[in-house]
Amino acid sequence: MRAFAQIDLAAISENIVSISKRTESTILAVVKADAYGHGLVPVAITAVESGANWLGTALLEEAITLREAGIEVPVIAWLTPPGEDFERALRLNIDLSVSSISLFKEILVAGKQVGIKPRLHFEIDTGMRRGGVLNEWSEFLAFAQEEKSNYSLIGFWSHFARADEPLQPFNKVQEDEFASKLEELMATGLSPEIIHLSNSAATLSRASAHQSMVRLGIAMYGLSPDVDQMGDGTKFDLRPAMTIRAKIHLVKAAKAGDAVGYGGTEVLKRDTKLGVIVMGYSDGLPRTANNSVGVFFDGGFAPLVGRISMDQCVVDLGPDSQAEAGDYVTVMGGEGYSIDQWAKAAGTINYEIVTRIAARVPRIY
Ligand SMILES: *Cc1c(COP(=O)(O)O)cnc(C)c1O
């Protein structure tokens, strides 16, 4: 295998167990985007075994994959545009989220078609101005009331825009807005079974927002929601679950003054040995990463040299390296450069680094 992602399911399990000690609330494990690149079904099974009673996905097809794998805990898919196969969703007992009257209607029609009452979660926009009911709220409430015998109201929820900045006053603004909208809902006699507002950042830093369920994403994978604002995962006793390894394809000696890679962007300052690694941006390595990262091998750290190519990249192994073609190096995670270091080197966040690892990189458990 020329490259693979080693996924430590025990780390995911320990992360969930340790986070569940911080809250009384039910844990929903967020497994969207192929479980943040870690592998949807194996992670979902691990999460459920580790105490997560709920699973959450963005897309309907992700939730369907969970059901097809025989997973029976409650699953919510919260990002379903009009025109999805809602009848199938209902037959598979998948919870759906609504943030507009039109989608609400469409799902009710599907419910009548298959003779199943949809299990719905109302998403409220409390300040992020992304998903959730906003301007339609009064009409939405009236509609929800009129149709109340045609669906089960399972959840009432919203999402923080700035929970990764625990001291940011806007978090309180959103919490207050959430409470007031919930009150208006309850005043109509509608009463959700579950109230959920917190992502990982709020789960780790904002007990007032835990409500009856927290939606745990990045933290269960062992990564901090915001390294700059909250510190890295070790601050919360989290252990990253992903390690990426790849083979050296070729080792060669090159001279000081040689320019390496497309555009000749980097000129060697010394005679050294270069290692060509069989992994590139099509595998998910960020092309924008600078040479503050690279790979780890027996002899130590070898920084990137020049631009990352589509299928390969070049590292400086050092003039005395004993590394050979065919050896595995650690590209990120484990004893190598951390996912957080890669994110920083590429000017992005750890979320993007793990979710972009391509499907052609096999996940090994
Ligand atoms: C992705 C997502 C989460 C999880 O966020 P983390 O920051 O990874 O914990 C929670 N809720 C919703 C609606 C999401 O889309």
pLDDT at 223: 98
- Which of 277, 278, 258, 279 shows the shortest CA–CA distance to 268? 258
For residue 2, report the distance from its CA to the centre of ligand 1, in Å: 32
How far apart are the C-alpha atoms of 104 and 100, rounded to whole Å?
6
Q: Which helix (H) or strand (E) holds 304?
A: strand 300-305
pLDDT at 299: 76
Q: Which pTM does this prediction carry?
A: 0.97
Catalytic residue IDs: 32, 262
Closest-lying ligand 1 atom to the alpha carbon of residue 219? 9
For residue 42, report the distance from its CA to the centre of ligand 1, in Å: 19
For residue 200, report the distance from its CA to the centre of ligand 1, in Å: 7
Question: 93: Cβ–Cβ under 8 A, 6 or more apart, which residues?
Answer: 67, 75, 119
The yes-or-no verdict on residue 296 having pLDDT over 90 is yes
Q: Which two tokens stand for residue 62?
A: 């992700």
Q: Specify the CATH number for 9-224; select among 3.90.940.20, 1.20.1250.20, 3.30.300.30, 3.20.20.10.
A: 3.20.20.10
Mutating to test ligand 1, I would choose from 22, 199, 224 the residue with most ligand atoms within 8 A of its C-beta, which is 199
Q: Considering the chain, what is the average pLDDT of its residues?
A: 98
Report whether 271 contacts 261 (CB < 8 A): no
For residue 36, report the distance from its CA to the centre of ligand 1, in Å: 10
For residue 95, report the distance from its CA to the centre of ligand 1, in Å: 16
Q: Which residues form the pocket of ligand 1, taking CB atoms under 6 Å from any ligand atom?
A: 30, 32, 58, 78, 159, 199-201, 215-218, 225
Report whether 294 contacts 346 (CB < 8 A): no
Which amino acid makes up residue 20? S
Query: Pairing mode, if any, of strands 266-267 and 259-260?
Result: antiparallel
Task: Give the residue, by CA position, lying nearest to ligand 1 atom 15.
Answer: 58
pLDDT > 70: percent of the chain: 100
Report whether 65 contacts 88 (CB < 8 A): no
Closest-lying ligand 1 atom to the alpha carbon of residue 159? 13
pLDDT at 65: 98
Segment 132-141 mean pLDDT: 98
Q: Mind listing the pLDDT tens digit for each residue in 174-214?
A: 999 999 999 999 999 999 999 999 999 999 999 999 999 99
Question: Residue 227 burial (CB < 10 Å; 0-12/13-18/19+)?
Answer: buried
pLDDT at 166: 96
Which amino acid makes up residue 89? A
Task: Give the residue, by CA position, lying nearest to ligand 1 atom 13.
Answer: 159
pLDDT at 298: 86
Mutating to test ligand 1, I would choose from 30, 214, 218, 354 the residue with most ligand atoms within 8 A of its C-beta, which is 30
In three-state secondary structure terms, 265 is: coil
Closest-lying ligand 1 atom to the alpha carbon of residue 225? 7
Q: What is the CATH number of domain 242-364?
A: 2.40.37.10
Q: Indicate the domain borders of the chain.
A: 9-224, 242-364
Closest-lying ligand 1 atom to the alpha carbon of residue 200? 9
Q: Mind listing the pLDDT tens digit for each residue in 62-94?
A: 999 999 999 999 999 999 999 999 999 999 999
Q: Mind listing the pLDDT tens digit for each residue in 5-30?
A: 999 999 999 999 999 999 999 999 99
Q: Mind listing the pLDDT tens digit for each residue in 138-170?
A: 999 999 999 999 999 999 999 999 999 999 999
Q: Mind listing the pLDDT tens digit for each residue in 165-185?
A: 999 999 999 999 999 999 999
CB atoms near residue 177 (< 10 Å): 15
- What one-character-per-residue DSSP string does 25-83 give? SEEEEE-HHHHHTT-HHHHHHHHHHTT--EEEESSHHHHHHHHHTT--S-EEE----TT
